[in-house]
Structure 1
Amino acid sequence: MERSFYTIADVADMLKVSHGAVRNLINNGEIKAIQIGGRGLWRIEETALENYIKEQYQQSEEKVKSGEALVND
């Protein structure tokens, strides 16, 4: 089984957020990542990113249904 990994920059670009936002998601445990070597190189597996996105869709749907979050223009 071949695994695909992304850099913090890759994920930031895909989600259209800053690198710092991705680092915060990793530090908060919202996105699973692994450190490669001792130089602070972090990688996010494709499946970990997909899981994060699925969870965000579920949470967002629940918030909209409950009225906790509204989509505004």
Structure 2
Amino acid sequence: MTPRFLQLSDVAAELNVSDSQVYHMVRSGELPAIKVGGRGQWRVERARLEEYIEQKYAETADWVRSNPLVEREPDQ
């Protein structure tokens, strides 16, 4: 069974980024998360992570459309 909530280290592994990058994404509000337990440990719901990934695909596609790859002219 797949866990509903992921630790920040699990999210970092999924995205292939550092734990500190994920912490920054959560603290900045870029990636929705909750604090649970008496020590306030961060957890990211798997569904929210998937939504975040889809959002990033859409943002990247928009960026690519707005910044077309232009062939360089060969040196003469």
TM-score by length of 2: 0.81
Letter in 2 for 1:17: V
Q: CA separation in 1, counterparts of 2:33 and 2:63?
A: 26
Per-residue CA deviation, residues 7-63 of structure 1 (Å, 9 max, x unaligned), is 000000010000000001101111110101231311100111011101100000000
What is the aligned length? 67
Tell me, yes or no, if structure 1 residue 66 matches structure 2 residue 52. no
- CA distance, structure 1, for counterparts of residue 33 and residue 51 of structure 2: 12
* SS of match in other structure, 1:39: coil
Give the alignment of 1:10-49 within 5 angstroms.
10-49=10-49
Identity of aligned residues (%): 40
Q: Which runs of 5+ in 2 are unaligned?
A: 70-76
* 1:22 aligned partner, one-letter code: V
CA RMSD of the aligned region, Å?
A: 1.6
